[in-house]
């Protein structure tokens, strides 16, 4: 047990002892502020194509179609092992971007070409940040390292899948913080660590590539390049920090410059820095608009904020106009409802007969879009008028009838004592009828007697005497005349009534 712990400690000690010594190489580096000089050049570097250097960064391509740019060190390296940290941003408006960004360590400086802005057949190392998925495997953005002995052309069609030393699929586009790649070549081992830019924490590097037995040119140029295609991203390099690496015990010990000289240089640097600050301040005072524009140009974060604010402003304006329109609609609806209510109240007044019809009364106004049309309301009113007129006519007619009935009744009560009612008349009639029936029966009996044979001979006195016959006849005549008189009287009364 103790043996194992000792072994682990020994290994850790060996690893720690083997950590290389880092020396910053300013002639192979750039970073802001004051990255570029006034003439747009970067000290110890030269850029080509569409690359533009500003105080804060080198925009290797702008987000425009079919652009290519690159930046290369002026001098070849003079150290065996190195570590480079590249801090960059690949930002585009689209969900997809193109083509990508490349780091180079090559025997010769690159020239403009098809490999992310640089040439094929390079000798040395290319590390590619390939944004666009050419082979449609859904594995981009992709980071890969490729060694070339000067004979190979990068196979874009397959995204170089068969040509890579190693690689990893990592999204490096549109990150909240700049992304970083730490590329180390030490004792023929190539290591690439990647920081995805989701945080600002220096510790968040993760391993992407580790390849052993890599033999790169003894001395070479560092470079960055980028290209856009049909799709386009801004490819911005913010920092390029190069360190030469020395195995423990081999680091350069002697300082070539003495303390006095060092002091002099640092003093000069401070003076230069103050002077530059003053000049900048003066420039800002003299050209406030220009300075503001430049600030925006060189600081994409602020520009981004501005575009966001503009969007918000547009949304706000749109909402305000919608609100205005809604308010107008609301007002109109209120108006329509008001008119409808007025019309309805008028209608109900007409129905209850409270509103006099006729002239001087304005017709109720009803909006066309409401429940009742104007013509409908007018038709209704016309109908109402007609109804009222008819009702008046009927009333006068009924009054007339009433009056007439009154006079008839009065006349009847003034007239015959025999009683005015039909019932009484019918009773009388019945009486007369019965009387007539009796007369008829008697007559029939008389006739039967006269036809049945001769009068009984034995009793001649029992035959109807002549005087009796005449009395009956006279009575019958009186009754008939009375009835006819009564009937005619009745008819004349009835005619009067109608």
**For residue 354, what is the enclosing H or E element?**
none
Q: Which is nearer to Ca ion, 161 or 291 (CB)?
A: 161
Both tokens assigned to 236: 């911005």
Instruction: State which of residues 91, 134, 299, 412 lies at the interface with Ca ion (CB under 5 A).
Output: 134
Instruction: State which of residues 132, 172, 221, 298 lies at the interface with Ca ion (CB under 5 A).
Output: 132
Separation between Cα atoms, residue 309 and residue 316, nearest integer Å: 10
Q: Which is nearer to Ca ion, 134 or 384 (CB)?
A: 134
**For residue 472, what is the enclosing H or E element?**
helix 466-497
Site string for Ca ion, 91-130 (x = CB under 5 A): ---------------------------------------x
Q: Which is nearer to Ca ion, 30 or 172 (CB)?
A: 172
Q: How far is the CB of 52 from Ca ion (least distance, A)?
A: 24
Q: Does 139 help bind Ca ion (rule: CB under 5 A)? A: yes
Instruction: State which of residues 133, 155, 171, 297 lies at the interface with Ca ion (CB under 5 A).
Output: 133
Return phi, psi of residue 358, to 5°. 130, -155
Separation between Cα atoms, residue 245 and residue 190, nearest integer Å: 13
Q: Which is nearer to Ca ion, 46 or 155 (CB)?
A: 155
Separation between Cα atoms, residue 331 and residue 171, nearest integer Å: 54
- Determine the size of the site formed for Ca ion (CB under 5 A): 9
Separation between Cα atoms, residue 352 and residue 344, nearest integer Å: 12
Q: Which is nearer to Ca ion, 23 or 156 (CB)?
A: 156
Q: Which is nearer to Ca ion, 25 or 159 (CB)?
A: 159
Cα 194–Cα 200–Cα 206 angle in degrees, nearest 5: 20
Q: How far is the CB of 117 from Ca ion (least distance, A)?
A: 13
Q: Which is nearer to Ca ion, 130 or 236 (CB)?
A: 130
Q: Which is nearer to Ca ion, 88 or 116 (CB)?
A: 116
Q: Which is nearer to Ca ion, 159 or 184 (CB)?
A: 159
Q: Which part of the chain contacts Ca ion (CB under 5 A), choosing from 140-148, 228-236, 250-258, 386-394?
A: 140-148
Q: How far is the CB of 165 from Ca ion (least distance, A)?
A: 17
Rounded to a whole number, what is the distance in angstroms from the first to the last CA of the chain?
A: 142
Site string for Ca ion, 149-188 (x = CB under 5 A): ----------x-----------------------------
**What does the DSSP assignment read for 364-405?**
PP--TTSSS-HHHHHHHHHHHHHHHHHHHHHHHHHHHHHHHH
Q: How far is the CB of 217 from Ca ion (least distance, A)?
A: 26
> Is the preceding peptide bond at 169 cis, omega within 30 degrees of 0?
no
User: Which residues face 184 on adjacent strands?
Assistant: 83, 191
Q: How far is the CB of 174 from Ca ion (least distance, A)?
A: 17
Separation between Cα atoms, residue 466 and residue 291, nearest integer Å: 162
Q: Are 83 and 163 in contact (CB under 8 A)?
A: no
Q: Measured at CB, which residue is nearest to Ca ion?
A: 159
Instruction: State which of residues 65, 137, 187, 330 lies at the interface with Ca ion (CB under 5 A).
Output: 137
Q: How far is the CB of 162 from Ca ion (least distance, A)?
A: 12
Separation between Cα atoms, residue 170 and residue 144, nearest integer Å: 10
Site string for Ca ion, 51-90 (x = CB under 5 A): ----------------------------------------
Both tokens assigned to 481: 């005349």
Separation between Cα atoms, residue 296 and residue 306, nearest integer Å: 9
Which parts of this chain interact with Ca ion (CB under 5 A)? Answer: 130, 132-135, 137, 139-140, 159
């Amino acid at each position: 047990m103790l043996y194992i712990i000792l072994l682990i400690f020994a290994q850790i000690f060996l690893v720690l002892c083997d950590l290389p010594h880092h020396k910053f190489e300013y002639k192979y580096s750039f970073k802001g502020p004051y990255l570029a000089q006034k003439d747009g050049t970067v000290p110890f570097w030269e850029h080509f194509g569409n690359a533009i250097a500003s105080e804060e960064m080198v925009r290797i391509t702008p987000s425009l179609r079919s652009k290519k740019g690159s930046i290369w060190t002026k001098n070849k390296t003079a150290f065996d092992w190195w570590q480079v940290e590249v801090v960059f941003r690949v930002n585009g408006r689209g969900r997809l971007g193109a083509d990508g960004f490349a780091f180079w360590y090559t025997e010769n400086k690159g020239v403009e070409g098809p490999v992310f802005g640089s040439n094929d057949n390079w000798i040395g190392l290319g590390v590619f940040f390939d944004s666009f998925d050419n082979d449609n495997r859904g594995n981009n953005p992709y980071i890969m390292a490729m060694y070339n002995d000067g004979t190979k052309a990068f196979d874009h069609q397959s995204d170089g899948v068969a040509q890579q030393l190693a690689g990893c699929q990592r999204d490096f586009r549109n990150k909240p913080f700049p992304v970083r790649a730490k590329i180390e070549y030490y004792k023929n081992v190539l290591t690439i660590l990647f920081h995805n830019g989701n945080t600002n924490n220096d510790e968040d590097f993760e391993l992407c590539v580790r390849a052993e037995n890599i033999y790169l040119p003894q001395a070479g140029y560092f470079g960055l390049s980028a290209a856009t295609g049909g799709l386009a991203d801004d490819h911005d390099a913010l920092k390029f920090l190069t360190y030469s690496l020395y195995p423990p015990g081999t680091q350069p010990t002697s300082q070539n410059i003495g303390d006095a000289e060092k002091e002099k240089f640092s003093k000069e640097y401070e003076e230069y820095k103050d002077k530059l600050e003053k000049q900048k301040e003066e420039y800002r005072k003299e050209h406030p608009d220009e300075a503001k524009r430049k600030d925006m140009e060189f600081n994409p974060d602020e520009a981004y904020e501005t575009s966001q604010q503009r969007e918000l402003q547009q949304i706000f304006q749109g909402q305000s106009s919608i609100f205005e329109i809604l308010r107008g609609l609301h007002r109109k609806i209120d108006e329509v409802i008001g008119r409808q209510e007025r019309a309805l109240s008028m209608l109900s007044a007409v129905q209850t007969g409270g509103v006099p019809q006729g002239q001087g009364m304005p017709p109720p106004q009803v909006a066309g879009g409401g429940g009742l049309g104007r013509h409908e309301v007018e038709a209704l009113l016309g109908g109402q008028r007609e109804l009222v007129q008819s009702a008046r006519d009927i009333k006068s007619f009924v009054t007339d009838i009433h009056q007439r009935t009154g006079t008839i009744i009065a006349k009847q009560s003034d007239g015959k004592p025999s009683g005015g009612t039909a019932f009484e008349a019918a009773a009388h009639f019945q009486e007369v009828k019965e009387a007539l029936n009796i007369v008829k029966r008697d007559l029939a009996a008389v006739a039967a007697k006269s036809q049945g044979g001769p009068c009984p001979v034995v009793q001649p006195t029992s035959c109807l005497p002549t005087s009796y016959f005449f009395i009956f006849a006279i009575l019958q005549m009186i009754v008939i005349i009375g009835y006819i008189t009564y009937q005619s009287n009745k008819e004349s009364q009835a005619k009067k009534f109608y």
